[in-house]
Copies of this chain bind each other. A is one copy, B any other.
Amino acid sequence: MDVRAEIEKRTGEIERVIASYLPPEEGYQKTVMEAMNYSVSAGGKRLRPMLMQETYRLFGGSGRVIEPFMAAIEMIHTYSLVHDDLPAMDNDEYRRGKKTTHAVYGEAMGILAGDALLNYAYETAFRAFALEPENPGIVPALRILARKAGIYGMVGGQTIDVESEDTHDMTREKLDVIYRLKTGALLESSMLIGAVLAGASPDEQKIVEESAGALGLSFQIEDDILDVTGTTEVLGKPVGSDEKNHKATYVTFAGLNKAREDADRISKWAIAHMESLPVRNEFLIELMIHLIGREK
């Protein structure tokens, strides 16, 4: 399998799905709609919808009920970036080489466009009920979507991160929680929603969630390693920026060699754990292997 070519092809398909769920830019609210669409269209690997769709396929899913959830998870991911980039947060003018949303539309509109995207994610996900009214996985999928995005997931991780930076009070345990919530939760959400909508059993769901969590943790450790060793091109932010910001990372606590060992071990475990399932999606495994150690 030429995994790069396959990823490219599927990314194109996912882009079309996401675009079909974005709001038309019309009426008095045109500007916020433009700001939402600008933010979502600004790039990214569409990793979360891709993992969601492939996990759905892994468990035999073949309907369109997954599509509103694919769009919704990307909207939630995007809103978190829009708010992260705000002056009161990371204060970034550029992301992936493009101006950030508040840099283009102003700070007030940046806040509101983020709010609008988060809310529209739910409006979008609710469209699943019209596609498969009898699918018993929709309500559980909605619960997962909300929980993993909220205080027990992504937002929880962001707030611990913000607070730790203010107080310069980081411990290894706290860092682990931040990584699991801030990065891991949306990956768990993506893969778990795919499994649930395709009717995976509770045991299968558990394996998927654990693998996704491990994948997220290995991504985050890789990111910390790249911050020390990598190039700005791969990393998307200046090399050494964490160190410059006096930000404690996995490398700070474990050292570079141990961090590399751990990232390798955790990512291999994530893949082996997925391979322990009685079902198999070759592309999903290839995708996970491909993603490890690369930019996200």
Listed in ascending order, the chain A residues whose CB lies under 8 Å from chain B are 23, 27-29, 31-33, 36, 79, 83, 86-89, 106-116, 118-120, 122-123, 126, 129, 139, 142-143, 146-147, 149-152, 155-156, 158-160, 162-163, 166, 174, 177
Please judge, given known A-B contacts A109-B162, A115-B114, A139-B126, whether A29 and B156 are in contact too, CB under 8 Å.
Answer: yes
Please judge, given known A-B contacts A112-B162, A158-B112, whether A28 and B83 are in contact too, CB under 8 Å.
Answer: no
The answer to whether A126 touches B146, judged by C-beta atoms less than 8 angstroms apart, is yes
Pick from A116, A149, A159 the residue with the most CB of B within 10 Å. Answer: A159
The answer to whether A111 touches B129, judged by C-beta atoms less than 8 angstroms apart, is no
Contact of A151 among B32, B87, B156, B159 (CB under 8 A): B32
Least CB distance from A38 to B in Å reads: 14
Nearest 4 Cβ contacts at the A-B interface: A88-B107, A32-B159, A29-B156, A119-B150
The answer to whether A159 touches B109, judged by C-beta atoms less than 8 angstroms apart, is yes
Instruction: Provide a sorted-by-A list of 25 A–B residue pairs whose CB atoms are within 8 angstroms.
Output: A23-B151, A27-B156, A29-B151, A29-B156, A29-B160, A31-B163, A32-B156, A36-B151, A88-B110, A89-B111, A108-B162, A109-B159, A109-B162, A109-B163, A112-B158, A116-B151, A116-B155, A116-B156, A119-B146, A119-B149, A122-B122, A122-B146, A123-B143, A126-B142, A126-B143
Q: Copies of this chain, how many?
A: 2
Please judge, given known A-B contacts A88-B111, A156-B28, whether A147 and B163 are in contact too, CB under 8 Å.
Answer: no
